[in-house]
Structure 1
């Protein structure tokens, strides 16, 4: 038996109205009051309460059904008899014989009913992880948890009916006959709601959240109680959005919003403030209770999965906590920024974690550095202020320069050349690295195309970032640029670090295979740096192994490094892969590596980076 709703005393205030006053649908929502609402629930008490809430808010055209079969009959009757169509359905999930999911599917199979919005009603104690997914897949427009209050039900009904009416008007000539005044009233009502709410999820927006935080700061100083801000950033949303499209991404955002709603208390506030970021403002919550609540949210989201077209995606989230304490001098905007920064630290620690803001966190230095470098990087991307330099790679047996590694530099406002060590880590953390990777690929291919025929055997190495293979557009760009400039893809060799390979083995391997099919080559960079090196070298179809420079720097004086380097060269030889040693800084190191049988060497002793690659004559 479905759980009963609870009726809350008080008068509903339309969206955007900040003072409590009687509902006035006759003026503000005149176009909605006569629209027909069907309530479907097997519990008579629930039907009565929902009907009473709607009638008190000005809705008079309400019909009811006690089960799914009766609901279908009501819909059929509205078509055949001379009665108005159903404009909105409030549908209980848990009903005998035909549950709400089956009723919803049946309705959506009829073209004449496909545009009727359906709000599923489910009890909190009947919630399961796939409840929202199943509801949305069946064709539901929204989900509400019972027990609900009138001030929760009525705005949802108004929003659904407004959208339904707009769709109906577009399909008829009546839309053209609407007066300018009527259109203005509709827009005003809609805008009043959007001023403080997110259009997709129905949650509060950033503006409403900031107002609530300002009030929480004042109240905290007045009543000497803590409040807490929880900044929630979804970890895998971009993957779903990129691979499955924006419609699937929107369904994920709605799923998360409805999941979080279940845990929000009466005096708490839940907001969506950007694409995949949500914020909870919890009143009367000190650090101990905040950590407990955050862990509950974390466990819930970590157990959330999204299914589409037979594929399953794990959601997960990083959560940052900021406390609003009595006597604090922190402003509302500062409190929100601190929660955001705490979330950044949680992500920096490996994602899918919870962290409380601490001014002494080492990651705060990273954020301050990012604040300095991000605008410079953005300007460099916009105004083409990156430059490539090319360091020679020498073939040991012949002494010839056969390859160059492309290295990126950035020009700042003063014309100074900035090395990658200063800006690449920031670009990786702040989501700008994909644009730099694409710049590297495009310009290296362009450089190869511009080399004279006398350098037709010269190949260039491109050192991709650890995030490159998470960019779904990269493969298409490489293929397009190779065809555009008509270069031999064999002259293009990509270096991937072991760290990048380990981060996503399947995705990296797939990209390597696809690019090798185009004719490109690969080197495994930093070989030997991790414990898994010898295992991963068997899994990835690379052409070259590049020994990590840490083993080369002190090779002449360190017997352990000598033994390890010999072993790495032997591994490469046994796997029929060429081996490169980088950081070769003197003749003694070169002689030692030559005696070990290394194939290629690179370093300042061989040659410093040049503006353009130059082949040996």
Structure 2
């Protein structure tokens, strides 16, 4: 952008004053392309038709107020600085600044006007340049990723013989579904048994060689057992700063053409509903946000879900509820505009990226969608099912934040629709003083640090009880925060922000430090107790965590076998290398490991090959109406049987009703946890002989 070219809008009914201002601006070297708006309607038209750089707003001669001015700017989806013009000096400019002005100047003081205009214009040009640069960086990153993902060549990356990344062609070549199935898989698992010794010898020679690129012809093996000839090209590479080896595979037969035809669909689509998947949607959203902030077209996102889905899931089970979601997805694809993108965003929620963004049109669009969904009938098991839906939208214009904050805004509007009774749509409208997600995260970080400093954090303990009559004392450790008035705040409210800002790692250490102090006190009273302590992703990635833990155990004179660390299954999958190394470190300290929320996914036990946990805590959703859910019972039975075959103990969490105990005992569950036994308490005082 040429920094000497300036397109201001002067909002004033005084044409003589406007000409004087234009002349003054030209006097500091700008090639001025001005427009003058003498009414709110004229300004509305100009905001829609021209690319302005800033607004000079005469507070006395505009014909309307500053509040209406900012409403017009926001409605147009613009991000424009405002310089308020006054006709006599003001002692307190805050009334203008707090209403959104960037500065206040006396209109007749042309030297001051020139200074403020120059500074404000440069700031606007720099902001646009930054947005443009950010867009270019995103585009470059996207192109690099697309080059890898869209390559017809199968490309994988291994470190110390284990896969750490692969593109879609590589996965398809071996019949693998996604990265979860290959991450951590040994390269030798994809080589036929007759060729493994040859490949091992080649790799030994390659590691000693000074030749960075070498090739090997060998026989490979798909997961379905098909063998094929291929040529492997090895070369050095780096993933996330970690040195590794790139492997490019070319088959010697013609079967790859059929596989290549599937790549485009599999890389973009949700296999259950046929809609776009979350990864593809997020790529598109980031691109459209970047376009909008550069003035290349506005958009909106609409988050929506069936209001009655939870009750429908209880009635028809997991398989029945899947059919309902597939039917809902087909309806959504039929009802949206041709150029809109519909995505299955998570388990039961959907999202639409639409070119309809102006508030009135967007509201009408959501009302039409809501009406179509309410009137739609799904036939299942001989029954007719209908459910309204709640919708929340966020507009993407020049003022749009990043993609994550855009989604957070849509979710706030969605929650507002749900709270209002459902069956309707709301558009996110920022309230005065409302903070972005980043600002909220920073605020939570500050509050958490203050709570620790002021001793307002508390540990809670909930018993984990054996169903086989073993009297050992086990407790799960939780935490909560007290606000400035002493009101408790559950960890669920602040942990997402804590994890995004890195404060969670500090909280993990706080919990461990204080839990070990209490554990040491119980040992002095001859009360042997085993504690289950949760860890976040930040601690897995912290190289100082295990040495610190070792010192804490020595300082408190505690044996590591009294600690069981809990990691959520999703975290272990996303940070597989770190989880694997952390588990090895725990073994050296004689500590144990639990995988929490275990059992979802097509093959959950595959993770245990890389992260061999001692305990498996089943996903709490399996407990939903368990006595009356044959499907959940059968799943838990199979999971428990396989876990026991691999010498692992299993825990059922969220046990709220004694009626479920015979079912759990019959399934072979080892331990139970939930409010039926005891709600989390600051004291470890449960009677572990109560179920004996």
Shorter-chain TM-score: which interval?
Answer: 0.3 to 0.5
Please give the TM-score of this superposition, normalised by the length of structure 2.
Answer: 0.42
Higher RCO by CA contacts (8 Å cutoff, separation 6 or greater): 1
